[in-house]
Amino acid sequence: MTFVPQSHNYPIDAAKLDQLAEVAVKVGLRLQKGQDLVMTAPIAALPLVRLITRHAYAVGAGLVTTFYADEDTTLARYDLGHDESFDRASGWLYEGMAKAYASGAARLAIAGDNPLLLSSQDPAKVSRANRANSAAYQPALEKIANFDINWNIVAYPTASWAKVVFPDDPEAIAVAKLAKAIFAASRVDTPDPIVAWGEHNENLGRRSAWMNEHRFASLHFQGPGTDLKVGLADGHEWHGGAATAKNGITCNPNIPTEEVFTTPHALRVEGHVSSTKPLSHQGTLIDNIQVRFEGGRIVEAKATRGEEVLNKVLDTDEGARRLGEVALVPHSSPISASGILFYNTLFDENASCHIALGQCYSKCFVNGASLTPDQIKAQGGNSSLIHIDWMIGSGKVDIDGVTADGARVPVMRQGEWA
């Protein structure tokens, strides 16, 4: 079934946008008959919201509820809001979302915000607002991070985002270029996107199985500005592509995705590492990150841009200076090959190997669904209010897998699977 929107303000391929909506519902979420859906989106992404809603109801969704964000009203808070308001967040909203997920609802987020929206705002206010929001979001985040539910993120080419990615183009051309790049990365420019996703999931599954067969104790990253040993959690398990949530539904949380990933040991990370792409975090760009780990904890952090915000993020809580994820992505991935810097982690993390500060995923353990938080911690899993991915891979980075007895196996050479 195809739903084509009546009109667009920009030259976005309507048929492909509809296919993206269908992929989000049928591949990303695999929404079940009678299942409710909670969706969040920039208000500028309304055309995609409407298409996703129609596809959701077409497969039998129970109730679709959408919450919108607006850039102008976000900026109004920073222009006019009272100082004490930056230590508050809408906890009641996230508690309601957590209740919906506990009752069986699925979660879908549409990315598309201006990645530089808050770059000129007071970093202290941005940090305080982010911290308050992270704390309030925790009840809902736990349901997502622990993979209790089927969830998905897709992207829409908003004008404000497009102008950041393609600053030298007129707005309409920038939007058209970003739309084309999103469709390609999301595999909706193929003859049958759902079949294409099935084949892609099989390939990622084979990569994950190879890593699980080797049962490496750690990974050693080496490249320009990087000499990092990442110990892997006890009983860790690699995943990639589609995965089955605790509610029994197999979904693709990220569209696009090119990674296989697992949980590092929170206490066993040593060395130094440099970012290979900028990190866009909550409207602030953080570039040329350099950090040093001792005993699993970041003890030194620098950045040429956004350093103040970076250090405030690292001070969110004890777990913010430790790793919750390590992911492998070949340098030749379609997103990397596009040569586009998206200024959006959903895309940029799939162009490069990456690590994530903060909360780990419980599903990245053998029998993770049955483990308690204390058991996950005992096996090396990290806990935090945040989960922030940043990119450390390139065509100049080599990775070795190190077994428990010290044997080394090439995993990647010059950014490609060995």
Q: Tell me the domain boundaries of the chain.
A: 14-185, 205-417
Residue 8, pLDDT > 60, answer no
Residue 282, pLDDT > 80, answer no
398 burial level (CB within 10 Å; 0-12, 13-18, 19+): middle
Distance CA 251, CA 150 (A): 6
pLDDT score of 81? 96
Taking only the tens place, the pLDDT of each residue in 77-131 is 999 999 999 999 999 999 999 999 999 999 999 999 999 999 889 989 998 998 8
Q: Mean pLDDT, to the nearest integer, of 398-416? A: 97
339 burial level (CB within 10 Å; 0-12, 13-18, 19+): exposed
Q: Mean pLDDT, to the nearest integer, of 399-412? A: 97
pLDDT score of 3? 58
pLDDT score of 7? 44
pLDDT score of 403? 97
pLDDT score of 198? 96
Return the structure tokens found at 373.
Answer: 């938080």
41 or 116: whose pLDDT is higher? 41
pLDDT score of 6? 44
Sign for the CA dihedral angle at 95, 121, 108, 369 comes to negative
pLDDT score of 283? 72
45 or 119: whose pLDDT is higher? 45
Helical H segments across 29-170, by residue range: 46-58, 71-80, 91-102, 123-145, 159-165
Instruction: Please state the separation of Cα 357 from the chain's center in Å.
Output: 12
125 burial level (CB within 10 Å; 0-12, 13-18, 19+): middle
Taking only the tens place, the pLDDT of each residue in 230-255 is 999 999 999 999 999 999 999 999 99
- Nearest of 190, 238, 202, 249 to residue 31 by alpha carbon: 249
Which strand (E) or helix (H) includes residue 260? strand 260-262
401, 232 Cβ separation under 8 angstroms = no
pLDDT score of 132? 94
205 burial level (CB within 10 Å; 0-12, 13-18, 19+): middle
pLDDT score of 10? 60
pLDDT score of 362? 87
Distance CA 287, CA 275 (A): 8
Residue 1, pLDDT > 70, answer no
Taking only the tens place, the pLDDT of each residue in 357-388 is 999 988 899 998 889 999 999 999 999 989 99
230, 221 Cβ separation under 8 angstroms = yes
pLDDT score of 315? 93
pLDDT score of 123? 87
pLDDT score of 11? 84
- Nearest of 28, 63, 12, 77 to residue 249 by alpha carbon: 28
Instruction: Please state the separation of Cα 264 from the chain's center in Å.
Output: 17
Helical H segments across 116-262, by residue range: 123-145, 159-165, 171-185, 193-214
288 burial level (CB within 10 Å; 0-12, 13-18, 19+): middle
Q: Is the peptide bond before 256 cis (omega within 30 degrees of 0)?
A: yes
pLDDT score of 62? 98
Fold of 14-185: Thermophilic metalloprotease-like (3.40.1830)
Query: Tell me, what amino acid is at 407?
Result: A
Return the structure tokens found at 259.
Answer: 């990674």
Taking only the tens place, the pLDDT of each residue in 135-168 is 999 999 989 988 899 999 999 999 999 999 999 9
